[in-house]
Chains A and B, each alone.
Chain A
């Protein structure tokens, strides 16, 4: 995003705002989707984050890229949503089973080996705690550099690297463990 367009956005130029939205909405949507793992929630979060970013545009100092800054705002929004979701889940827990998990495991079409591996990997990733899962998603889904990840998460570069290596170690181990009994059965 060039500085000129941003300056025009700050001044309230509707054309500039329109092109800012156009340029960033899809990546922002994918970002929220990857944190929330739910398209409808991701739509809301994208909306909320973008508007929050526009309102806070004066705080953007161009030390990081606009996208990185936008992601860091969206991360906060998504965390808020996750918190609410946890609260809702706690309230609903007594009466209802967890729908999402049920729907997942009742899918019988998991035949292809490649697909099976990839699904097992997704499950292993979703079991990581947040501080290890987020860097993995930002690196391997959003293809951010470690420097950009550090900016989005507000942690330093060394911490990003150590979280990523620990996550890779976990994921590698989990996958091997998941594969072992199946190989023995064949």
Chain B
């Protein structure tokens, strides 16, 4: 798509109307909620959201919902299977003329990282194999937020969670879900951050012009689980991008392209030092070694980019 053909050139092209409802029970400053409302403002109500168990299950607690359109709750591992059922039902209704073309809905999976990187992988891979026509939004808060921030396969190395409280924090490494998706060769996959709404809007625009399995992996700062003041929620997102910890990129036409190239990357400390979950790394020499390791991994990543 040519640059000039794009709808979102600047913030002035942004929707000024908020389609997503207020009054949800998410924490003040929730980064996951922020990305959901930004996406919803762009997609609108001709959608049906299939929600894997997680914090966002609480968006719609009977009889309250922030959605204008539909929402369905599934077990933690099963959202893509739920999406298949809903898509099939819509297709049958369309084919048998019981639903008009203009009444068709976009099927959107809404899932946390615990489900997406972990127990939901198999159902997701199956949906990709079948070429299911759906959007897959993973809000990545790097842990099991809903149950008190236990570590998940998306937790970064060294982060303290309620199940990795020792001096070294989480021993494992964050899984690369973007590459797992790319390995399935889907029509579209991208990473986004709500702190970069323009980049997000352009990606949503591209993804809407395509069909089949399409993923958005959204960096989602979690004040409660990560230990920072809610007011800093967007700033934490900026720093993740500026330090190069969260690369903004897309997979389209079989190729990976970076959509934002941080000119001069900030040191990762700038990002880490603002979050309680990394505080222990600054308190010991072993912790300093982990910081150096994290910096090394980021440096190696970007060396591979250009």
A, B bound: no
Q: A: which residues have CB within 8 A of B? A: none
